[in-house]
Amino acid sequence: MSLRANEKPSESNTHSKPEAESEADADAPPPKATLRERLKFLTRRYGWWALGVYLAASAVDFTLTLLAIHMLGADHIRSLEASLRKSIGLEQRSDDETSSEPAKGTNPIWTEAVLAYTIHKTLMLPLRVAFTAAVTPSFVKWLVRMGWAKANHVVKAQVGRKAADRAIQDVVKRNAAGKAADVAKHQ
């Protein structure tokens, strides 16, 4: 087999396949993991950043749901609210002289908010979780590149180093106290 002057030997043999796979899988949960295991991995790997992404997605999700309900169904919600109040007996009686019929332009914002919250908590939950799982790794990588966050392995190394330093200091203090007690005994 001859090589031309400008050709280089193939480097495919220089890197083993498991090393390349381990680099690619560093940000992925274990293969064939259940949804619960994936969420645990996400929380363990990204911690507060995952919670922040989830809460931001929740705020946007609830706001959009509330706006959609307000824009598309305010009149329908008013009629449903009135029929519900009537059926459970919350509507004011007409024979009461101080009460009057509710104004037709009454703003059902609280009813809309309760409906939006219900939809937000039930129907939108799978979307929020999927969005969080999809966006968090790339978001954290972007933050690390920008210098606004530290890489997870750096944070864990610092925490481990601090814990080891404290343990060493505790051992040194105990040894010094023990030696002082031994010296005091012998005198």
Residue 31 is predicted with a pLDDT of 78
Residue 20 is predicted with a pLDDT of 45
Please give the average per-residue pLDDT across 74-81, as a whole number.
75
Cα angle, residue 6 at apex, residues 2 and 12 outer, rounded to 5°: 70
User: Is residue 53 a contact partner of residue 139, using CB atoms and an 8 Å limit?
Assistant: yes
* pLDDT confidence bin for 154, thresholds 50/70/90: low
User: Is residue 149 a contact partner of residue 143, using CB atoms and an 8 Å limit?
Assistant: yes
The CA radius of gyration of the chain, in Å to the nearest whole number, is 31
For 7-52, what is each residue's pLDDT tens digit? 544 444 444 444 444 444 455 667 787 878 888 888 888 888 889 9
Structure tokens belonging to residue 153: 């392995």
For 95-143, what is each residue's pLDDT tens digit? 444 444 555 555 678 888 988 999 999 999 999 998 998 999 899 889 8
Other beta carbons within 10 Å of 85 = 14
